[in-house]
Structure 1
């Protein structure tokens, strides 16, 4: 497989996985891009036949995990480094205010954050990155049935957290809007 094929196969699930580890979406996309580049350039170090999607997926996940750890460490160091900027400079470069998301979406986001890690991972990978169950299973090294079970449990938990006012189908639609 060439790099383009591997990116097409794993981009969505990898970004979702990195986001489930705590990286914001923009950073998760960058970490994923860097992970693809590093994994592909160092593919000869991969144990097994890297051209097999299952083998490369596991290799890619390990590279992404290391990239995410490095990103988290540097982010922590940057937070500890305080700089002083004049208020007029801040006003000149300030981004325009974003439109406020609906209360239902805010409530759903908060509910997703309360899910157990395993359920949050599959929800983010499957719905937000629109990744197939099979691709999620390969990256997480679990069976497709396990992914389906976690998705079911996560949707059920979200429905309970949202006071049962929303059906599983509505939750799925709302997840696609995040």
Structure 2
């Protein structure tokens, strides 16, 4: 049997498509925070993330009736959020940093022990910040978010072979950085 969360989302989508306005409110409750966090990961700014989230919901409301496979709502909405976040970055001409140093410093607080594993974690987290943006995105989506190559391709709007190449290059660059 399928994922119960996916099934619930699909039922809510179908209910909304057939006229039940309350279904959208439930989808909003279930997905709003996830969308906002996804947007934040792209631009590292909560205010921008909130704006992207609002824009994402505008798009969802206008295009949800054209969503043919209600079971794909989750990846569909996250793709919209990711693209809106990237559009926001381009529009604002920001320096795009998927994981800024503050994020990694917060994650490594308390890792000041001599423990080798903790040192390795700290080095790996710092190395990720040195990767180009496109490689950081793919690395994060693949390892942290556990998306498939096909899903990453849809989210980033590049071919699967490009995703594979970026993932390979990110791994290779991480090795070089960590050897230093």
TM-score, normalization: structure 1?
0.52
- Judge conservation of contact 2:83–2:156 (CA < 8 Å) in 1: no
Aligned: 1:49 with 2:66: yes
Describe the superposition over 1:20-39 as per-residue Cα deviations: whole angstroms up to 9, x where unpaired.
x3528xx6xxx48x83x763
Separation (CA, whole Å) in 1 of partners of 2:8 and 2:89: 21
Partner of 1:4: 9
Count of aligned pairs: 134
Say what the alpha-carbon RMSD is for the aligned residues: 4.7
Aligned: 1:119 with 2:130: no
Describe the superposition over 1:71-101 as per-residue Cα deviations: whole angstroms up to 9, x where unpaired.
xx9xxxxxxxxxxxxxxxxxxxxxxxx6327
TM-score, normalization: structure 2?
0.51
* Unmatched runs of 5 consecutive residues or more in structure 1: 74-97, 165-178
Quote how far apart the aligned CAs of 1:48 are. 9.6
Partner of 1:128: 144
SS at match of 1:114: coil
Separation (CA, whole Å) in 2 of partners of 1:38 and 1:65: 12
Separation (CA, whole Å) in 1 of partners of 2:58 and 2:40: 20
Name which structure has the greater RCO, CA cutoff 8 Å, separation 6+.
1
Partner of 1:60: 81
Aligned: 1:145 with 2:166: no
Match of 2:56 among 11, 22, 39: 39
* Unmatched runs of 5 consecutive residues or more in structure 2: 1-5, 14-26, 95-108, 113-117
- Judge conservation of contact 1:44–1:50 (CA < 8 Å) in 2: no
